[in-house]
Amino acid sequence: MSDSKILLEVRDVAREFDVSKPWLNRMIEGQPEQILKAVDGISFTINRGETLSLVGESGCGKSTMARVICGLYKPSRGEVIFDGVDMAKVHGAELQNLRKRFQMIFQDPYASLNPRWRVGKIVAEPILSHNLITDPAALKKRVDELLTQVGLSPLDAEKFPHEFSGGQRQRISIARALSSNPEFLVCDEPTSALDVSVQAQILNLMKDLQRKFGLTYLFISHNLAVVSHISTRVGVMYLGRLVEVAETKRIFQRPLHPYTQMLQSAIPDLKMTGKQRTPVAGEVPNPLDPPTGCAFHPRCPYANERCKVERPSLIEHPDGGQVACHAVEEKRIPIRLAA
């Protein structure tokens, strides 16, 4: 293990999906191949012990990014470097060793647990597949301990997933994810299927576990309020690209990228009843046919000719964080402070 501060580095990762019609249809109808660029050249780093959140609207590629990091999809381009090791370059036992150091929590606790397995077996599966504990008594002890840690009872190990509510199922998912003693958890919308009071329970639990075990989280969500609560840093995605990355406080108080500003003003606010949200015109374009230059230019109030042709790259901003915007770089945008 290296001692560097950075646990995970993603370098220029892209993931494309071939969504063309079958070959014969293409020949007859004379249509070209269609490639969907779900993730299009993303780079970021995650430091040990922090929570980096990726936010964006549906179809922006945030879940694809999570899956690429976990190795569920192979990147079409770029590298995922975990603790100094390029994931694409290790194989066999070495990859297994690396794999057990990170786990994933999925959105839908109804679909991510095998309905025919008892909870004890579900939680023990990562332990067994990584050969961490082989003695049955020790295994049982470990499962009981995990269930207690996530606020369930050891007796629950004998039950089936359908006997639990959504929030409890998400606790089971968390127990399973923790079973191989990982350092890094990728959480793909872990609370978006839950009610607010249950969401609060799960978010509190995740924060407690992070403190206790020194976990690092990559948190994927579309809910900005949840993100602002749990994150150390936030990355905003739009159409497969990262448009802004910065400390949570900076991004919500001084959003720099026009898209971040738009998202920030669109948050429904409980505090200021009667506040008018600033609705932004337009919708997310079809990712099969993304706009040229900066992908946000058709909806951007500050777009000019340069934005239409030249794709902005993510550059350091003096206020902290990184922004991919020509208008910010040229100081054409008035800075908007949160009220």
**Residue 198 in contact with other proteins, rule: CB under 8 A:** yes
How many other β-carbons are positioned within 10 Å of the β-carbon of residue 210?
A: 17
Q: Minimum CB separation from other proteins for residue 243, in Å?
A: 14
User: Least distance to other proteins from the beta carbon of 226, Å?
Assistant: 5
Integer CA distances (angstroms), 119 to 22, 145, 212, 306, in order: 42, 13, 23, 56
CB of 34 to other proteins, least distance (A): 18
| Phi, psi angles (nearest 5°) of residue 74 | -85, 135
Distance between CA atoms of residues 337 and 258, nearest Å: 13
- Least distance from other proteins to the Cβ atom of residue 11, Å: 29
β 6-18/184-188 pair status: unpaired
The alpha carbon dihedral of 301, 304, 308, 310 has a sign of: negative
Specify the residue, 283 or 289, whose C-beta has the smaller distance to other proteins.
283
What tokens were used for 308?
A: 């239409």
- Burial annotation 220-243 (CB, 10 A radius, 16+ → b, else e): bbbebebbbebbbbbbbbbbbbbb
Element spanning 56, H or E: none
CB of 99 to other proteins, least distance (A): 32
> Does 219 participate in binding other proteins (rule CB under 8 A)?
no
Residue 104, burial from CB neighbour count under 10 angstroms (0-12, 13-18, 19+): buried
Give me the amino acid identity at 157.
Answer: A
Choose between 169 and 326: whose C-beta lies nearer to other proteins: 169
Q: Based on CB atoms, which residue is closest to other proteins, 165 or 313?
A: 165
| Identified binder of other proteins from the candidate list 96, 129, 204, 313, rule CB under 8 A | 204
Write out the binding residues for other proteins, residues 253-292 only, by CB under 8 A.
253, 262-271, 273-281, 283-284
CB of 252 to other proteins, least distance (A): 5
Helix (H, G, I), strand (E, B) or coil at 103: strand
Considering only residues 97, 165, 292, 304, which one is a binding residue for other proteins as defined by CB under 8 A?
165
CB 81 within 8 A of CB 88: no
Piece in contact with other proteins (CB under 8 A), picked from 127-135, 173-181, 221-229, 287-295 = 221-229
207 lines the binding site for other proteins (CB under 8 A): yes
Q: According to CB under 8 A, which residues from 75 to 104 bind other proteins?
A: none
First to last CA, the chain: 44
- Binder to other proteins among 167, 258, 287, 321 (CB under 8 A)? 167
**Nearest approach, Cβ of 192 to other proteins (angstroms)?**
11
Least distance to other proteins, CB of residue 2, Å? 31
Per-residue x/- marks for other proteins, 125-144, CB under 8 A? --------------------
* Cβ proximity to other proteins, 261 vs 322, nearer residue: 261
Q: Which residues contact 155 (CB under 8 A, 6 or more apart)?
A: none
Binding to other proteins by residue 148, rule CB under 8 A? no
Site for other proteins in 28-67 (CB under 8 A): 57-58
Judged by CB under 8 A, the residue of 82, 184, 217, 252 near other proteins is 252
List 203, 232, 302, 306, residue binding other proteins (CB under 8 A): 203
Q: 103 or 201, CB closer to other proteins? A: 201
Alpha helical stretches, state H, the chain: 23-29, 62-70, 92-99, 119-129, 136-149, 166-178, 196-213, 224-230, 248-253, 258-265, 305-309, 326-329
Which residues of the shown chain bind other proteins in the complex (CB under 8 A)? 57-58, 165, 167-168, 195-201, 203-204, 207, 222, 224-226, 228-230, 252-253, 262-271, 273-281, 283-284, 338
